[in-house]
Chains A and B, each alone.
Chain A
Amino acid sequence: SYELTQPPSVSVSPGQTASISCSGDKLGSHYTSWYQQRPGQSPVLVIYQDSKRPSGIPERFSGSNSGNTATLTISGTQAMDEADYYCQAWDSSTGVFGGGTKLTVL
């Protein structure tokens, strides 16, 4: 079965850039989405189709996908960005999530 691998945790200082990776076999040939989940809340879509932002998502969120790795980048990270982040892709007709990355804003 297809698997997506994320680092368990990433730390960043306020105002700096955070990068969260997601790796999978030939992931660049699959559209990847990213979700933010704050404690006790439902997930929120922040990036779809590798690099597009839904309406209402701040411009500091961006994404890329090439080769075997997709990356979520948060520029000028704010305290409110502290959350769990999940990548997601489709393998044929099966949805797959990465294990999630806890972003800590120190």
Chain B
Amino acid sequence: EVQLVESGGGLVKPGGSLRLSCAASGFTFRNAWMSWVRQAPGKGLEWVGRIKSKTDGGTTDYAAPVKGRFTLSRDDSKNTLYLQMSSLKTDDTAVYYCTTRYCSGGACYSAFDIWGQGTMVTVSS
């Protein structure tokens, strides 16, 4: 079964740090471009960042609000994606989802396919 399972969320004080993990199974993780998307309580979806596969350079891109504070990384030997968050702000409070790029029939597209169930991050004093 194709699955993404996020973990690591919790309550953290403003200015603090937290690392989220996303465990992948059921597909070839090392070939997947992975993203994090967040959703503040009662709000819409917001793209956070993306990491390409190592064969495609392994480069990262970030949304402006998190650039310089958040870092995406991956461990292909563990089929796991990470999101290291630092200098956290109350505005970072959200459910954080990991998601894959949609691929079908040997081609990949600029859309998000598999989504995890999300992990809640609350930044509050």
Distance to closest chain B CB from A37 (angstroms): 8
Interface size bracket, B side: 20 to 34
Main secondary structure of the interface of B (DSSP, over half): strand
Task: Report which of A35, A49, A89 forms a contact with B45, defined as CB distance below 8 A.
Answer: A35
Interface size bracket, A side: 20 to 34
Q: Is A14 an interface residue (CB 8 A)?
A: no
Interface string of A65-106 (1 = CB under 8 A from B): 000000000000000000010101110011111111000000
Taken together as a complex, chains A and B put the C-alpha atoms of A96 and B35 apart, in Å, by 12
Q: Are A97 and B45 in contact, with the CB atoms below 8 A?
A: yes
* Total of A-B residue pairs, C-beta within 8 Å: 68
Q: Are B112 and A86 in contact, with the CB atoms below 8 A?
A: no
List residues of chain B with CB within 8 A of the CB of A33. 102, 110-112
List residues of chain B with CB within 8 A of the CB of A89. 110
Task: Report which of B37, B44, B61 forms a contact with A99, defined as CB distance below 8 A.
Answer: B44
Q: Is B56 an interface residue (CB 8 A)?
A: no
List residues of chain A with CB within 8 A of the CB of B47. 88, 94-97
Most buried by A among B109, B110, B115, B117: B110
